[in-house]
Chains A and B, each alone.
Chain A
Amino acid sequence: MSHVTRESLQSIKKSGVKMQLLLFFYNNPFTVDDLEGISMWVGMHKKEITREMEELCQMRLLVKRGTSHSYYRMTENSQLVEEVQKLIKEFYAQRKTKAS
């Protein structure tokens, strides 16, 4: 986990938008789309997700490509994918606890 710390990963759980974006990419791992498209897939405004997407890219959990027209996809780094998986499990476990 060279480019993302446990702390920064935990901070994702506090951001509802980031968590929703990460859940979407994790469940649909070969998604490749631009901001416009992703906003449609997750049902949020483009403005609402722009900054969060950039931050997820900085954490290297998402990969941004393209020059004039940027698009995003989930990281292919298996170590990072594993960390995301752990994070999502924790997220669901906490949600379950809260619900009960």
Chain B
Amino acid sequence: MPSPQLADAVGEHREKHADRVALSCCHRSVTYQQLDDLTRTFADRLRRLPLAPGATVCVPAHKSPETVALLLAVFRQGLVALVPSPDLGAEALARLSRRARASHLLGADEQGSVSAEPVEPDEAEAAGFAVPDPARTRLLLTTSGSTGTPKIVPIPVDGFTAFADWAGHAFHLTGDDVALSYAPLNFDLALLDVWTFLRLGAHVVLVGKEQAADARHLRELVAGRGVSFVQGVPMLHRLLAQDAEATFPAVRQAVFTGEAMPADLLPSVFAAFPEARLHNVFGCTETNDSFIHEVSRTRAGERMPIGRPLPGVRALVVGVDGTPLEGAGGGELLVSTPFQTGGYLERSLNDRVFTEIDGRVYYRTGDLVTRSADGLVHLEGRADWQVKVRGIRTNLQEVEAVIATHPDVAEAVVVALPDDQAGVRLHATVTRRPVAALTGLALRSYAGARLPRHAIPASVHITDQPLPRTSTGKPDRNRIRADRMKETSAA
């Protein structure tokens, strides 16, 4: 699990601790006995559906005990679950289902009834997509992606088992622990804060989408349910810690993940979790977690590293010439983990990002890193022009391309600058055509009509001078970025 053994594990926890809480959400809780009963009921329901052995079914990731039980039933029945975001529109959901050759779209409501809609197969649409192999995977996650249909990532059964073993050991987890599950159920983070905890017989507190920005509710959950493990993006930690009055001494482990933790947030996080060990964890859906860094309360610097590879993980830093660096230096990060997917379902995507080196398959993260002489790794940015503005993946090249279509623009470069609140903000440096009277405000209006709001540059520098160049004649983005940062810090 997501594996057949996971449903068995829940059954065993029911034998030993029937009344222990397995799942809770804002207004109710489900014991291991109830979860096991619900799983068996749903498994019976699945048996009555016309499903081929090992078929794939689509289960949108609603954050509810019933959806978790339905997924356990799918694993138990030897089926494969495609788990997309519940926010996906009907058309995108149908397209994704046809690509994965899912035979039914399933759901389970709070009353415990299962809905099953057959999916019209379309071999033309599924062409080029591998058929999920239930011997190797029971769970297909999807990556967000800023445009188009999400990519389908099979999570290997043995990869999950290895991951859950690692996580249990690394965070000293037992059946007495209580996890706050903040991320959506279709994120790889759920492999830790939902599935690993259920495997251990522990309690998972499910935070629904509706409560995700409600600081008071989140604090009540963490304090009131005895949460001992908190994993989430910096925003979650900000919501929990920004009220200096609240402290959560029951939290033993706090994990920062998803994006860079701002240094200004650390003092309040230290105060909010006085008893916790703190880790920065780096990973993605394709490989699951690959790097970890234990954050020191006394020696946390301005920039938090992603740390060092997890046990069994190999990491390469590849320079611009394409060869892996020995020792210190900077380049693109490639990782090979014991947990990683065997490849996207869409075969044509794999050659670009999975590469075999010395007999191991590595995933190109697209992240630029630096590695110090003692092996500590820091993230420096993206190799593929992706940045996150207010948590939304944004492609700098796409923004540049839109700006460059303005008739008065001769040339434009868009760079990402660090920002305490937004994560990064975009800055555009634009050379206007001779005699053009273009201003930054006119360019913003133009961009605003063609780009989503988060992709409009927050600052615009218009010049009549040509842009600085690198030795190869390309606009020197690093210099533009550095100059801009110097200007704004001097101001």
A, B co-complexed = no
B residues with a Cβ closer than 8 A to A are none
A residues with a Cβ closer than 8 A to B are none
